[in-house]
């Protein structure tokens, strides 16, 4: 076995971080015990007075900066997280990584043709269906060449490949581990292919062009979103369509829309699907809770509940309060 395979590298890196965090924690604990009375007073102030709100605010500011606003740190962080998750949870059944789409009725279904494996991730695949059929007014994608940027664990692109039968599908993702996962899980052929690449520099693909480029819940990870739009524009055929879905804080949406149209792509449709995403999160809650109980220890549970969008998570709160919206756009190269 290759000790420094990409999988092992991300695991080793993670445990290195964990070791540093534990040492830092121990040092803090020793300081706290040494200054015992002061620690208690500080603890009470932080926990039970309005100072608490200030701490929460500062924490959220730092957190938002690192994960959603910065350029370099954001890119490095997300890249590391997805690589690590894939190495740590190589579960073959886990193939999609988005918050999902559901109709506002009891079962939320729009698809009836899913197999047993796909049924598990129904809502994630329904979001893909919405994206892939947006604006096309077609039952299938016959003859179309499809590119997905940020294809993750590939379940969505595999759904498009098998259910909508385009001419070909290419998935690109920043995380080498996820690309390897896709290659082993779906096998490679002329019609479905995965490769490692960066949304902000898609030079690797430039000998090809595409009729449909999709992007599902990935663009919030990019350091420079406008550069991504430039890359997409280069890779689209004239008449080709770019369909993107993701969430954004309400104050970021204006800039996001300007960036989307900064290369001359023509906006065809825009839809706010926040309530459908919330509905999917509600209907998927039980499955996620079970998944976390089964597969995550205590440490990972708190991490996962943050990102999985369970009802106690901040993202669920913000979507409910409409401080963050989940949107879908289709743009055409004219
Ligand atoms: C929330 S996941 C969504 C994955 C997939 N679209 C899905 O819905 O199942 C975000 C994905 O974006 C990928 N990503 C993040 N930054 C990227 C970049 N700069 N270039 C390409 N992919 C990136 C991550 O590796 C991850 O797979
Ligand atoms: C994009 O990536 C290619 C290699 O894949 C590299 O040669 C090129 O310099 C990169 N461009 C930028 C702007 O980083």
pLDDT, tens only, 14-31: 888 888 989 999 999 999
Cα(173) to ligand 1 centroid in Å equals 6
Residue span of the structural domain in which 65 resides? 6-88
Rounded CA gap, 87 and 101, in Å? 27
Residue 302 lies in a domain: no
Same domain, 68 and 120: no
The enclosing domain of 271 has a CATH number of 3.40.50.150
- CA 201 – ligand 2 centroid, Å: 6
Which ligand 2 atom sits nearest the alpha carbon of residue 204?
A: 5
Distance 279 CA to ligand 2 centre (A): 41
- CA 16 / ligand 1 centre spacing (Å): 24
Examine the fold and report which residue of 68, 88, 108 is the final residue of a domain before the chain moves on: 88
Among 140, 128, 134, 137, residue whose Cα is nearest residue 101: 128
> In the structure, which protein residues have their CB atom closer than 6 angstroms to any atom of ligand 1?
75, 78, 82, 96-98, 124, 149-152, 156, 173-175, 178, 198-200, 216-218, 221-222
Query: How far away, in angstroms, is 199 Cα from ligand 2 center?
Result: 11
Do 211 and 163 belong together in one domain? yes
* Domain total of the chain: 2
Residues 144 and 198 in one domain: yes
| Cα(202)–Cα(170) distance, integer angstroms | 12
132 and 53 in a single domain? The answer is no
- Average pLDDT of the segment spanning 260-276: 97
CA 40 to the chain's CA centroid: 40
Phi, psi of 140 (to 5 degrees): -135, 180
Q: What is the mean pLDDT of residues 237-259?
A: 96
Q: Is residue 298 part of a domain?
A: no
pLDDT band per the 50, 70, 90 thresholds, residue 330: very high
Single pTM value for the model: 0.90
Asked if residue 107 belongs to a domain, the reply is: no
Indicate which ligand has the atom closest to the C-alpha of 79: 1
| Mean pLDDT along residues 233-258 | 96
Domain boundary among 88, 105, 128: 88
Residue 300 is assigned to a structural domain of this protein = no
Which of 196, 200, 201, 206, when mutated, tests ligand 2's pocket best, judged by the most ligand atoms within 8 Å of its CB? 201
Of the CA atoms within 13 Å of residue 268, those in its CB half-sphere come to 16
**Looking at the domain assignment, is residue 109 inside a domain?**
no
pLDDT given for residue 135 in this prediction: 67
- Say if residue 272 is in the same domain as residue 135: yes
Same-domain status, 172 and 37: no
**Which atom of ligand 1 is least distant from the CA of 200?**
19
Tell which of 48, 70, 88 closes a domain: 88
If asked whether residues 123 and 84 sit together in one domain, one would say no
Asked if residues 169 and 191 have their Cβ atoms less than 8 Å apart, the reply is yes
264 belongs to a structural domain? yes
Task: Print the SS3 string covering 147-185.
Answer: EEECCCCCHHHHHHHHHHCCCEEEEEECCHHHHHHHHHH
Q: Which of 87, 158, 218 to mutate for ligand 1's pocket (most ligand atoms within 8 Å of CB)?
A: 218
Q: How much distance in Å is there from the Cα of 149 to the middle of ligand 1?
A: 7
Residue 129 lies in a domain: yes
pLDDT range class, residue 1, cuts 50, 70, 90 = low
Question: Is 304 contained in some domain?
Answer: no
Cα(174) to centroid of ligand 1, in Å? 7
Same domain, 133 and 250: yes
270-300 pLDDT, tens digit each: 999 999 999 999 999 999 999 888 888 777 7
- Of the candidates 287, 147, 268, the one whose C-alpha atom is nearest the C-alpha of residue 205 is 147
């Amino acid at each position: 076995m290759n000790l420094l395979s990409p999988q092992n590298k991300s695991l080793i890196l993670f445990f290195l971080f964990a070791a540093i965090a534990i040492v830092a924690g121990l040092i803090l604990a020793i300081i706290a015990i040494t200054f015992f009375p002061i620690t208690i007073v500080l603890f009470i102030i932080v926990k039970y007075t309005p100072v608490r709100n200030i701490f929460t605010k500062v924490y959220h500011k730092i957190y938002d900066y690192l994960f959603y606003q910065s350029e370099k740190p954001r890119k490095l962080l997300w890249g590391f997280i997805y690589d690590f998750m894939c190495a740590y949870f190589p579960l073959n059944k886990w193939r999609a990584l988005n918050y999902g789409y559901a109709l506002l009725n009891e079962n939320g279904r729009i698809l009836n043709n899913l197999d047993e494996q796909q049924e598990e991730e129904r809502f994630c695949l329904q979001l893909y269906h919405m994206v892939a059929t947006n604006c096309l007014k077609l039952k299938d994608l016959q003859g179309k060449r499809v590119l997905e940027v940020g294809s993750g664990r590939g379940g969505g692109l595999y759904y498009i490949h098998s259910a909508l039968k385009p001419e070909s599908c290419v998935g690109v993702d920043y995380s080498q581990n996820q690309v390897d996962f896709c290659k082993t899980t779906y096998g490679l052929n002329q019609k479905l292919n995965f490769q490692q690449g960066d949304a902000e520099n898609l030079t690797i693909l430039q000998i090809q062009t595409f009729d449909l480029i999709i992007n599902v819940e990935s663009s919030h990870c990019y350091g420079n979103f406008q550069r991504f739009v430039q890359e997409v524009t280069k890779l689209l055929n004239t008449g080709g369509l770019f369909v993107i879905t993701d969430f954004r804080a309400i104050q970021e949406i204006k800039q996001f829309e300007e960036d989307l149209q900064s290369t001359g792509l023509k906006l065809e449709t825009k839809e706010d699907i926040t309530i459908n995403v919330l509905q999917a999160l509600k209907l998927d809650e039980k499955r996620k809770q079970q998944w976390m109980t089964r597969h995550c220890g205590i440490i990972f549970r708190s991490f996962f509940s943050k990102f999985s969008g369970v009802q106690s998570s901040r993202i669920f709160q913000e979507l409910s309060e409409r401080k963050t919206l989940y949107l879908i756009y289709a743009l055409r190269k004219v």
